[in-house]
Chain A
């Protein structure tokens, strides 16, 4: 058993694909029609055969409420690793990405939290 896919619930798959590729810098891996929606995954260009991120529709009513409750308290459910949090914050802010938490020294780790515009907060992290 291996972990090959993990998901984020998004409110709009096309918008999510644009944000995750054009802003965050992932590349599209799989895009297959799946009924009303798409089986749509992205990967890191640094690890194209690594874990895929599935951009999963948040159609289920519980998914929407779950996301809203997390965002209200500023909680990022999904986390990505970067080499340099401050540099990444600066780069993404230049692309118009909004952060709820700038790069912050948390002891063993530096973190920041951004808004993915699809209803989620995402944490960027780098171990020191």
Chain B
């Protein structure tokens, strides 16, 4: 799968988008914290294994990076890959407001 397919596949899943929302809310979370947020805040009862796989897809798309600190692993958001979307389809009407 090319990088762009990976990006769109990663964004195509609601749970993965919620994971990105929560990392945007607070960057640098353990798997435990992400699972806790999805369960407690969003009522998403995915298994730890499922969340782990979602994170792997996000990491493959470059949207999440992991960092080991001591014995724990933390997940960080990287919105950099999203740039390719607005470069491909530029948003040029931001200053002009909505079209009539």
Number of A-B contacts (CB under 8 A): 53
The yes or no answer to A90 lying at the interface (CB within 8 A) is no
Question: Given A101-B29, A101-B33, A111-B36, does the pair A106, B48 have CB atoms closer than 8 Å?
Answer: no
CB contact list, B57-100 vs A, under 8 A: 70-74
Report whether B48 and A73 are in contact in the complex, using a CB–CB cutoff of 8 Å. Answer: yes
Residues from chain A with Cβ under 8 Å of B31 in the complex:
73-75
In whole Å, how far is A71's beta carbon from the nearest beta carbon of chain B? 5
Partner of A101, one of B32, B48, B70, B73: B32
1/0 contact string of A61-96 vs chain B (CB within 8 Å): 000000010011111100000000000000000000
Count how many chain B residues have C-beta atoms less than 8 Å from C-beta atoms of the other chain.
16
Report whether B72 and A106 are in contact in the complex, using a CB–CB cutoff of 8 Å. Answer: no
Q: How large is the interface on A (under 10, 10 to 19, 20 to 34, 35 or more residues)?
A: 20 to 34
Q: How far is the CA of A5 from the CA of B93 in the complex (A)?
A: 66
Residues from chain A with Cβ under 8 Å of B26 in the complex:
102, 104
Q: How far is the CA of A30 from the CA of B45 in the complex (A)?
A: 41
Q: How far is the CA of A106 from the CA of B32 in the complex (A)?
A: 12
- B contacts, CB < 8 Å to A: 26, 29-33, 36-37, 40-41, 48, 70-74
